[in-house]
Structure 1
Amino acid sequence: MKLLTVLAVPLVLAAAGAAAGVFYLQSQGVTPRALAPYLLKRTSGHNGVIVGAGQLAASTLLRLDRGAVQAYALPPLTLGAQPEGPPAPAGNERLVASADEARQAIANAAAGDIITFLPGDYAIRGTVYARQAGSADAPIVVRAVRPGTVTIALNAGEGFAVSAPYWRFENLTIRGACRSDSSCDHAFHVVGKAHHFVARNNTISDFNAHFKINGIRGSFPDHGLIESNTLGNTAPRRTTHPVTPIDLVAASDWRIRANLIHDFVKSWGDRISYGAFAKGGAERTVFERNVVLCERALVGQPGQRVGLSFGGGGTGKRYCRDGRCITEHDGGVMRANLVSGCSDVGIYLNSAANTQVLHNTLLDTAGVQVRFSESGATVEGNLVDGALHSRDGGVLRVGDNLTTAIGWLYLGRHPQRVLFAEPKRLDLRWRDAAPRRDGGTGGNDLCGATRGSGAGYGAFQDFHACVQGGL
């Protein structure tokens, strides 16, 4: 008995030390997936025993937090680019059958022109400039009749540079075709006076920032819409340039809706990337009903990948709307989004005032982080496979959510993740009855259903409705 008592003392002390360590990490908002790369970095360059111990500790932490990370095929979703696009608008149709004809038609466009690519593959070198203005009643539209019939390969730092109002791009397949990833920054650069820009039902791949949106010389491209597009990359981006499929700076009143954003891995430089952000003094951006999959095909890569953000990594003052960036963003809404498979947080608010985070589902992410005293967020109705955390003075107003404390992640416990059939493959049928809440926020859920009183937590009531033909 005395021997057992002697042996028990160090075991109890070790357990107490481990518990204290987990409590401290939880208080600091450090998840296992964040601690793992830190351990690898701190143990690299030492002798083999230390390096091996660091690798073992890191792999154990990732396994507890993330489980098996593997590529998977997506079911055909009702979000993102669809097989049937929007109907043809009325206007003066101009058919183009070559890259030169397209460039000329866009350069000389007038309000009400409908520039239609005939079916085929188009290789366009250099930037195509859209400088003529459409109008509210007669926008300039660039489109394919049917999605999937027109593929445009762009070889330029900026593919389409739009600097005039009321342009719309629809039903196009666009890919970056540069030898160097740093040479294919943007499929679209929406800048200055290009207000009321619309991109709908396009499939765009292999760019650093598929959409770059910013002001210039006191003009800002406000009131834009990016809807029902599929944005992704087929390989990690070997560049030090920013990697963010939707990179919005200093423009206000944008709607980012019903898009599929996936595989935005940055393998050079700081290795930090985002699915989409709005920053630089922007206001009233709405992210709603988007599916953001940080890792679907490109799995197991080093680096930090964040789902959605107001504020991103911050903005240089000269690029801010007010020249000061007192706040990076004000009055934003994130509503009914699904964010999954991120090596960092699913939602990050950096100096983002008056933000509403409502009925989102976050799976296999480090949760939600609200940072800096300028940030204030109301978080209500979300289902988060992780924690809600504020740091550096961020104000977090927490309502009724389903979340998981960070401490549980160090024990490999994921009570929200196990609510679903196979979340790692995006089979998000409920294992049992969906958890319901008393209140509701109205509006549509991820799959388009009306959210009534007593609706469930998170982005959707029945994921079956998000899959074409059902699960």
Structure 2
Amino acid sequence: MNTMRKYLLWSGVVANLLLVVGFLLWARSIYWLGLPLPLYSQKVANDIRVNYPSVAFVTPILDFFAGFEHKNFLYRPLDPTKWHGAGAHPDYQPPAATNIVTVGNITELKKALREALPGQQIDVLPGRYEFDRTMEIRQSGAENNPIRLTGRNLHQVEFSMKGEGLLILQPYWQIENISFIGDCDIHDRCQHALHIVGRANNVVIQNNVFRDFNSALKVNGNKGHYPDFGLVNNNTFYNTAPRITKGPATPVDIVAVNDWRVSGNFIFDIQKSAGDEVSYAGFIKGNAHRGVFERNLVMCEANLKGGGHTSLGLSFGGGGTGKQYSRDEVSRESSKGVMRNNIIMHCPNDVGIYLNEAHDTLLENNIVYNTVGVDVRYEDSTAVLRNNIISGRVINRAGGSHQLQQNLIQSRSFFTGRDHLKDLFNSADLGDFSYLEPLELTPEPTHAGDGVLTDYCGKLVQAPYIGAFADPQFCAQKLD
């Protein structure tokens, strides 16, 4: 009997030791992935429920660990019509023009678009203009005489759209000061507000609002022609609910084009609740060259929070491109891309920056807060990270490689996911990134050939700095 008791006692001790060792090895593997334990548990539990329901009995244990999460989020409602910061500005007025066509209803607007001439400005009066089908833009502007479609006042000119809105097929258009609103009960019927295709190079999209589309701005080639040299400047993109679609949910969806610049935009509440539930705030991919993301503010979760969906920030490469859609059918996603002076925040379930087959990429002077960090994935991905402030981690995946040059990288708490960067700033969760104490880091020289950069706050600076802005105090932006 004593022998049996000793055997059972030692069996229990061994079993408990194995359990502890197994837990420690499991925790170690999670740690090296760079994921907080609550987030990892949440992801595994969701995956089991969807893909392995027969073993869903283990998910309560994972839910227990997920319950340790410390929430970092925007805890004040955000009204885009009262927002003063990155994105569309309500006081913006388009420059004066001489050749103006004024329109006040949808019939006049469609006629003006069909008959537009180089150098002409189509001035849209306040009101709601309903598009029930795609409007094709087949008139071409000229290099020194673009065609401009402008709203008289932001938030007062609304284009209500079903299906695809404006299909721009010709170059030298500028679209400004318009609120594009997706009006579809079935989300798959509101794909794009603007679709820029083929020969439509040198298009400027400036100071507009885009709401409730799957991919509000779509850019791609067609039949060997590519709409290069575009500018997406000072726009606001957001959704009022997660997109119920199995297709892409990416407001800035730029594919197979060169020399596009995405600058000064505000992108928030970008989530997807169907299919793989993975969304991006914006990407440039499809063998694109010299793409730039600069001075953008991304909040994956603002008014929409805690849904458990996987929302990523900015990306070169996105989820990849089919060879037939890639420029010259080359498998590489991006070359010589630059991300500079962006603030990417509140993407708690995945990375703020994702590089997928993105060769020779520069990540410089970004702030990445309350995300998993940065992924550099696949052998073709190479990156230099300089003067960034990043929460989470920076890792290579599947052969990617990166160099670090004077960055502040701080991991989130393993057991709770708390972002320790919040101790660096005045009120990071509310978007106030003023430093509580001066940074004790010496920045590396910047990449700009002339040594002059415009920081996140719009200030021209010549001396290098850490983070997205040069001054100790953050520029003013208001939530109400």
Could you tell me the TM-score, scaled by structure 2's length?
A: 0.89
Match of 2:477 among 462, 467, 471: 467
1:440, 1:451 within 8 Å by CA — same for their partners in 2? no
Q: RMSD of aligned C-alpha atoms?
A: 2.7
2:259, 2:291 within 8 Å by CA — same for their partners in 1? yes
The whole-number CA distance in structure 1 between the counterparts of 2:20 and 2:420 is: 23
- Point out the more displaced range, 119-128 or 372-381: 119-128
Match of 1:385 among 380, 391, 396: 391
The whole-number CA distance in structure 2 between the counterparts of 1:280 and 1:73 is: 34
1:385, 1:415 within 8 Å by CA — same for their partners in 2? yes
The whole-number CA distance in structure 2 between the counterparts of 1:11 and 1:430 is: 47
Q: What is aligned with 2:311?
A: 305
Task: Note the C-alpha offset of 1:30.
Answer: 4.1
The whole-number CA distance in structure 2 between the counterparts of 1:443 and 1:19 is: 47
Cα deviation 1:390-421 (Å, max 9, x = unaligned):
11000111111111246x43364533232123
Map 1:170-181; keep pairs closer than 5 Å.
Answer: 170-181=176-187
The whole-number CA distance in structure 2 between the counterparts of 1:454 and 1:220 is: 35
Q: What is aligned with 2:86?
A: 79
How many percent identity over aligned positions?
Answer: 33
Q: What is aligned with 2:436?
A: 431
Structure 2 residue runs of 5 or longer lacking an equivalent are 1-9, 447-451
Cα deviation 1:305-358 (Å, max 9, x = unaligned):
110000000000000101132x11001000000001112100000000000000
Mark the CA change 1:435 to 1:409 in structure 2 (over 3 Å): closer, same or farther: farther
1:85, 1:170 within 8 Å by CA — same for their partners in 2? no
Q: What is aligned with 2:421?
A: 416
Map 1:272-311; keep pairs closer than 5 Å.
Answer: 272-311=278-317
Task: Note the C-alpha offset of 1:42.
Answer: 2.8
Letter in 2 for 1:384: I
Cα deviation 1:28-82 (Å, max 9, x = unaligned):
444442442213433674689734222112232xx14x54675643683331000
Q: What is aligned with 1:132?
A: 139
Q: What is aligned with 1:242?
A: 248
Structure 1 residue runs of 5 or longer lacking an equivalent are 1-5
Match of 1:329 among 327, 334, 338: 334
Letter in 1 for 2:398: D
Task: Note the C-alpha offset of 1:165.
Answer: 0.2
Q: What is aligned with 1:58?
A: 66
Task: Note the C-alpha offset of 1:435.
Answer: 4.7
Task: Note the C-alpha offset of 1:385.
Answer: 1.1
2:212, 2:240 within 8 Å by CA — same for their partners in 1? yes
The whole-number CA distance in structure 1 between the counterparts of 2:393 and 2:248 is: 27
1:385, 1:404 within 8 Å by CA — same for their partners in 2? yes
Match of 1:144 among 140, 151, 157: 151
- Point out the more displaced range, 233-242 or 69-78: 69-78
The whole-number CA distance in structure 2 between the counterparts of 1:319 and 1:58 is: 39
Cα deviation 1:66-102 (Å, max 9, x = unaligned):
5467564368333100022243242411011111111
SS in 1 for 2:253: strand
Match of 2:171 among 165, 186, 194: 165
Mark the CA change 1:462 to 1:99 in structure 2 (over 3 Å): closer, same or farther: farther
The whole-number CA distance in structure 1 between the counterparts of 2:440 and 2:304 is: 32
Mark the CA change 1:20 to 1:58 in structure 2 (over 3 Å): closer, same or farther: same
The whole-number CA distance in structure 1 between the counterparts of 2:293 and 2:312 is: 14
Mark the CA change 1:365 to 1:97 in structure 2 (over 3 Å): closer, same or farther: same
The whole-number CA distance in structure 2 between the counterparts of 1:58 and 1:93 is: 59
| TM superposition outliers: structure 1 runs of 4+ over 6 Å | 6-16, 46-49
1:72, 1:425 within 8 Å by CA — same for their partners in 2? no
Mark the CA change 1:174 to 1:77 in structure 2 (over 3 Å): closer, same or farther: same
Task: Note the C-alpha offset of 1:125.
Answer: 1.3
Q: What is aligned with 2:219?
A: 213
The whole-number CA distance in structure 1 between the counterparts of 2:415 and 2:262 is: 35
Could you tell me the TM-score, scaled by structure 1's length?
A: 0.90
How many residues matched? 459
Mark the CA change 1:209 to 1:279 in structure 2 (over 3 Å): closer, same or farther: same
The whole-number CA distance in structure 2 between the counterparts of 1:152 and 1:460 is: 38
Letter in 2 for 1:335: R
The whole-number CA distance in structure 2 between the counterparts of 1:449 and 1:349 is: 28
The whole-number CA distance in structure 2 between the counterparts of 1:389 and 1:249 is: 25
